[in-house]
Amino acid sequence: MASLNIPPLRIALFGKPGAGKGTQAEALKGAFGLAHLSSGEILRSEIREGTLLGRKVEQYVLRGEIGPEDLITEAIIGYIERKHSSGGYALDGFPRTLYQAEELDGRFPPDLCLLIDISDEEAVKRLSGRYTCVSCEKIYSTGASGKPAVPSCERCGGELRRREDDTPEVIRRRLRVYMEQVVPVISRYREKGLLETIDGALSPRLTGKKIASVIAGKISGNRGFLA
Strands (E), 99-165: 112-117, 130-133, 139-141, 160-161
Which candidate in 10, 126, 174, 210 is catalytic? Answer: 174
Closest CA to 182 of 31, 15, 20: 15
Q: Write the interaction track for ligand ADP spanning residues 7-46; mark x where CB under 6 A is met and - where it is not.
A: ----------x---------------------xx--x---
Beta strands 130-133 and 160-161: pairing type? antiparallel
Tell me, yes or no, if 44 is annotated catalytic: no
Q: How far is the CB of 79 from ligand ADP (least distance, A)?
A: 11
- In this structure, is the dihedral angle defined by the CA atoms of residues 200, 203, 205 and 206, taken in order, positive or negative? negative
Burial of 82 (0-12, 13-18, 19+ CB in 10 A): exposed
Determine contact, residues 182/17, Cβ cutoff 8 Å: no
Stretch of 1-9, 65-73, 146-154, 193-201 contacting ligand ADP, by CB under 6 A: 65-73
Does residue 126 interact with ligand ADP by CB under 6 A?
no
Instruction: Give the integer Cα–Cα distance in Å for 107 and 128.
Output: 36
Stretch of 46-54, 64-72, 149-157, 210-218 contacting ligand ADP, by CB under 6 A: 64-72
Q: How far is the CB of 73 from ligand ADP (least distance, A)?
A: 7
**Complex with ligand ADP: residue 41 or 196, whichever CB lies closer:** 41
Residues from 143 through 202 that contact ligand ADP (CB under 6 A): 165, 174
Bridge partners, 10 (sequence order) = 89
Does residue 61 interact with ligand ADP by CB under 6 A?
yes
Query: Which positions are annotated as active-site residues?
Result: 21, 96, 130, 163, 174
Q: Which residues bind ligand ADP (CB under 6 A)?
A: 17, 39-40, 43, 60-61, 64-67, 72, 93-94, 96, 100, 165, 174
